Amino acid sequence: MKHASLLAIILSLCVLFSLVKSLPPAAGSQQINEVSGNRSRLSKGFRSNGQIESSNRTFFSWHYYHIQVPFEITLWIMLASLAKIGFHLYSNLPSIVPESCLLIIVGLIMGGIIHIVKNKALIMGGDTFFLYLLPPIVLDAGYFMPTRPFFENLGTILCYAVVGTLWNAFGVGISLYGICQVEAFGLKDISILQNFWFGSLLSAVDPVAVLSVFEEIHVNEKLHILVLGESLLNDAVTVVLHKLFEIFYQMPEIKIEDIAAGVGQFFSVKFGGILIGILFGILAALTTRFTKNIRVIEPLFVFLYSYLSYLTAEMFHFSGIVAIVTCSLSMKYYIEANISHKSHTTIKYFMKMWSSVSETLIFIFLGVSTVGENHEWNWPYIIFTVVFCLIWRALGVIVLTFAINKWHMNAITKKDQFIIAYGGLRGAICFSLVFLLPNFSRKRLFNAASTVLILFTVFVLGITIRPLVELLEVKKRRETPLTVSEQIHIRVLDHLLAGIEDICGHWGQYYWKDRLEYINDKYLMKIFIRDHNYPQSSIVRLYQKLEKKHAIQLAEAGYMSLISSAPFLRMTPQITVSHAEPVIIEPADNLNDLLSRNLYQIRRTTSNYNRHTLPVDTGTEQAKEILIRRRQSLQSSFSRLHLDPFKKEKNNSFSSLNESQRKTSVYHLRLSKLEVP
């Protein structure tokens, strides 16, 4: 009953929203004019003879169109949030059907209601999608992307994103052109250029759909990063092909020079987005270097610089997705070292919330935009579009993986190849680009074909991919983080492999990784990080945290002076330990000085296991210092608890001895202290 009530509330809000939007513009127009300009709702006028005459004013007025845009945006976000709550009330439903499918169903219901009430379809505009809804999702994916597997598989990702997208675009385009030559289908008016243009828009894997599905099935890290990286980086190829075919469509004749210019534009779009992303990432790192005294605005710079990189890239017709991913990857390491822990938590949860709301709105709008009269249903063309997209996707993955496995030691298995080919989901990027096509006779057919392809991949492939992963026993992602010993072994192996590559004269990925870490430690950290002695190793940071916490506790209890100056305690009767008076807690400004006087300064030069900064002779002394301070703290605690009873017992037994026995005991005690009587 509770679930049914919640769903009823959601539907009621949908109907209310539709009815509010369907009100005619003339309603309440007189009242709007009366209350405009912040006039009084109850005003009075004066006659010429001084008598008061009340004007014809109202106590209530309707002014919806003044707040229409923010009100409707708030209602859409409220609808999306309530829909997510309703889905997750059924614990078994999200494990069977992906959340994206359920959101599209809600959008279809909403679109049907709006179409019945207003007799008009509501279409999601291209600017709304590309400028407001897409950037939060890409920023979240890029900022929290695991950098190690991404850069280790960067060559494979670029191969799938660039070569695979071109393969799919031209393969689907030429196949659809062959279908158009069949007279029985009546599609001979579609040119080969239009088919190539349409095929280029269908070839790109959608990052929104991939994120929504693959994060729920928990495949292994390598498989997830291959599909996600391809969906993020193939945006440059799709943008170039879209702009290129748009220019070719307006030209009466296409020359070789135009094709060469298109190839050059591809590199400019790709590398232009990378340069803009790096530029804004540097600015973000430098800005957070000076936010020590104003921590509250630290998260704001992360979002502002990321969004500015996206908008700047789009302004110069570069790839905005590549720019924002590059910006997030380049600034994350330095920003995390500069900002506070609370700022990090704020960035994490706000970014997740923002991307979740955007993703929900995208799928709801996708369902809403599907309902309407802007489709032409030529089923042979639509069915072959879906079939050709699946076939060319599978062939591209098989051919490219065969070539990649020839050069890689860690080969991609056949099960992973099947999931990569099966996970080529299309989504809102494809729909928006098709919607932005110029008006020609077959544009409605392209809208219908792209809509069916999106619904087929999201519903059929998205629902069945989880059972296939279970059936094929694809390796899953481990839920627990790496242990300390695993992290140490990974770094030792990285250092060892880098040394082997250096000795062999082979400049592989470990050699370049080692060189980049050396440059980062020697130069970049001093520029972009406020405290460049920031420990990179999580092990060192954990040890530092525990040492500081222990020192603060001792200082509050009044034992810091005892630990820092007392020698090793001996459990003898003659040792008298006076109870230290509780010390006054020093202010926060002097806390760092207190810690620096009493704490061991943690060694930071070997946290990366870099062969360029290996220690010389300090390991033994530092290990000895750690053991000494630990032993002192433990002995002081032990003596605090047990020394007083021990002294009382020893004094009683000592007083019961005769004179000769006392002298003998004192003599033996002096010998134990290595003192001459």
pLDDT at residue 195 above 70?
yes
pLDDT at residue 283 above 80?
yes
pLDDT at residue 38 above 80?
no
pLDDT at residue 47 above 70?
no
pLDDT band at residue 259 using 50, 70 and 90 as cut-offs: confident
pLDDT band at residue 506 using 50, 70 and 90 as cut-offs: confident
**What is the pLDDT at residue 645?**
52
pLDDT mean over 267-288:
93
**What is the pLDDT at residue 625?**
66
**What is the pLDDT at residue 660?**
53
Least confident stretch, 185-199, 231-245, 489-503, 592-606: 592-606
Least confident stretch, 127-141, 380-394, 408-422, 539-553: 539-553
Q: Determine contact, residues 609/495, Cβ cutoff 8 Å.
A: yes
**What is the pLDDT at residue 116?**
81
Give the residue with greater pLDDT, 660 vs 38.
Answer: 660
What mean pLDDT, rounded, does the chain reach?
76
**What is the pLDDT at residue 575?**
42
pLDDT at residue 310 above 90?
yes
pLDDT at residue 235 above 60?
yes
Q: Determine contact, residues 550/527, Cβ cutoff 8 Å.
A: no
Least confident stretch, 422-436, 465-479, 571-585: 571-585
pLDDT band at residue 537 using 50, 70 and 90 as cut-offs: low
* Distances in whole angstroms, Cα of residue 19 to Cα of each of 12, 14, 372, 645: 11, 9, 18, 83
Helix or strand run (H / E) with residue 45: strand 44-46
Give the residue with greater pLDDT, 518 vs 667.
Answer: 518
**What is the pLDDT at residue 652?**
52
Question: Could you give all domains of the chain from N- to C-terminal order, each with its CATH number?
Answer: 126-472 (1.20.1530.20), 484-532 (no CATH)
Report the distance separating Cα 79 and Cα 314, nearest Å: 30
pLDDT mean over 269-298:
93
pLDDT at residue 174 above 60?
yes
- With tokens 């695991």, the residue in question is 146
pLDDT at residue 569 above 50?
no
Q: Give the residue among 452, 375, 392 at the shortest CA–CA distance from 203.
A: 392
Q: Determine contact, residues 370/111, Cβ cutoff 8 Å.
A: yes
- With tokens 């759909």, the residue in question is 209
* Tokens standing for residue 280: 């804004």
Report the distance separating Cα 389 and Cα 201, nearest Å: 11
**What is the pLDDT at residue 12?**
57
DSSP string, 290-355: T-TT-GGGHHHHHHHHHHHHHHHHHHTTS-HHHHHHHHHHHHHHHHHHHS-HHHHHHHHHHHHHHH
Q: Determine contact, residues 219/413, Cβ cutoff 8 Å.
A: no
Sign of the Cα pseudo-torsion (316, 317, 321, 326, in order): negative
Of the ranges 231-240, 462-471, 641-650, the best mean pLDDT one: 462-471
Report the distance separating Cα 239 and Cα 247, nearest Å: 12
pLDDT mean over 178-193:
90
Report the distance separating Cα 157 and Cα 574, nearest Å: 73
* Tokens standing for residue 288: 């957070």
Q: Which amino acid is at 533?
A: N
**What is the pLDDT at residue 71?**
86
Helix or strand run (H / E) with residue 53: strand 52-54
Q: Give the residue among 116, 84, 138 at the shortest CA–CA distance from 313.
A: 138
* Tokens standing for residue 387: 């079939």
Per-residue pLDDT of 357-395, as tens digits, reads 898 888 888 888 888 777 888 899 999 999 999 999 999
What is the maximum alpha-carbon separation in the chain? 128
pLDDT band at residue 542 using 50, 70 and 90 as cut-offs: low
Per-residue pLDDT of 9-34, as tens digits, reads 555 555 455 445 444 444 333 333 43
pLDDT at residue 351 above 60?
yes
Q: Is the pTM of this model over 0.95?
A: no
pLDDT band at residue 305 using 50, 70 and 90 as cut-offs: very high
Of the ranges 41-55, 113-127, 262-276, 598-612, the best mean pLDDT one: 262-276
Report the distance separating Cα 236 and Cα 157, nearest Å: 13
Strands 52-54 and 44-46, by their bridges, are: antiparallel
**What is the pLDDT at residue 535?**
57
* Tokens standing for residue 377: 């249903």
**What is the pLDDT at residue 307?**
96
DSSP string, 445-514: HHHHHHHHHHHIIIIIIHHHHHHHHHHHTPPBPPSSPPPHHHHHHHHHHHHHHHHHHHHHT---HHHHHH
Report the distance separating Cα 539 and Cα 544, nearest Å: 9
DSSP string, 122-170: ----HHHIIIIIHHHHHHHHHHTS-HHHHHHTHHHHHIIIIIIHHHHHH
pLDDT mean over 343-367:
90
pLDDT at residue 251 above 70?
yes
pLDDT at residue 272 above 80?
yes
**What is the pLDDT at residue 284?**
95
Q: Give the residue among 601, 597, 596, 591 at the shortest CA–CA distance from 561.
A: 597
Per-residue pLDDT of 570-609, as tens digits, reads 444 444 444 444 444 444 445 555 444 444 444 333 344 3
